[in-house]
Amino acid sequence: MSAYCALARLQGVCYTKSDQSRRRGRQVGGSEAGIRQASSSFTGATGDHVPSVGHRRVLDLRLWAIDGVYEEGGEVERRDSSVLRIVLMRHADSESASASTTDFERPVTASGASKVQSIARSLKSLGYIPNLFLSSNSARSRQTHSLMIQAMPELEGADAHFFGSLYTESQLDGHTLPHLMDLIRDLGDVTRHSCVLCLGHNKGWEEAASALAGEKVALKNGDAALFEMDVGAHGWDREARPMDAWRDAMSRVGQKSGWRFKTLLTE
């Protein structure tokens, strides 16, 4: 049974679902976000019954991306509503550079493709379904993204950004984690993003994973280091400061009470 994160946005984007498919719906009238549900009965992630509006079920702004995962048939799997997740992942194994291929253009190998698809399936089984994807713009990173979508179709709906800076700064000592933190502060939106996947290159990715974990973390090609943090336990107030969750989380990088290193997915 496939799952997708219910997203409520300030802009008023909603989602629809038929018996056989899911698709992005048109904007709901009014200034609050909502989700339109085609099934006959639905309960929101807050536990409230959602009133009918014609053939629609509309959820108010209390429904956030971090509130839960919605299964086929409208059932809700509750999650801790203040847990944020980060995945630091290296691109798939790639061919060596040659006289006709630059480092930036190196394509993914067959074995590399198989591994990252296996890692994608493992991420999904653990509940790490990214809805914000920050990546180097190298050919092998873009290929890795496409391969992961094949194994985790939910990833196709993530907000994906590809940056040349994540390719270049990964080679500079101590630059990768601060740069990723800046990007997450700028792009992380708790109404849409509960899990951020950052895809790129060594040496910077091992440095960033080790700094975030507080211990040495070795990342081979296709490996993924998983982190999470309960921002609610550290003073984030979703009512008073709803948009500050990712900024609060980034401010606690390097603190003992901050991000927890959960596991390393590897071969």
Q: With a cut of 50, list the residues of the chain below it in pLDDT.
A: 1-64, 68-80
Q: What is the pLDDT of residue 238?
A: 66
CA angle 19, 146, 149 (to 5 degrees): 30
Burial class (CB in 10 A: 0-12, 13-18, 19+), 219: buried
Q: What is the predicted pLDDT for the residue at 220?
A: 97
Q: What is the maximum alpha-carbon separation in the chain?
A: 64
> Tell me, what's the pLDDT at 98?
85
Look at residues 101, 111, 169 and name the one whose alpha carbon lies nearest to residue 139.
101
Question: What one-letter code names the amino acid at 154?
Answer: E
pLDDT the model gives residue 61: 31
Closest CA to 163 of 132, 188, 141, 194: 141
pLDDT at residue 242, as a whole number: 66
CA distances from 230 to 233, 245, 249 (A): 6, 10, 9
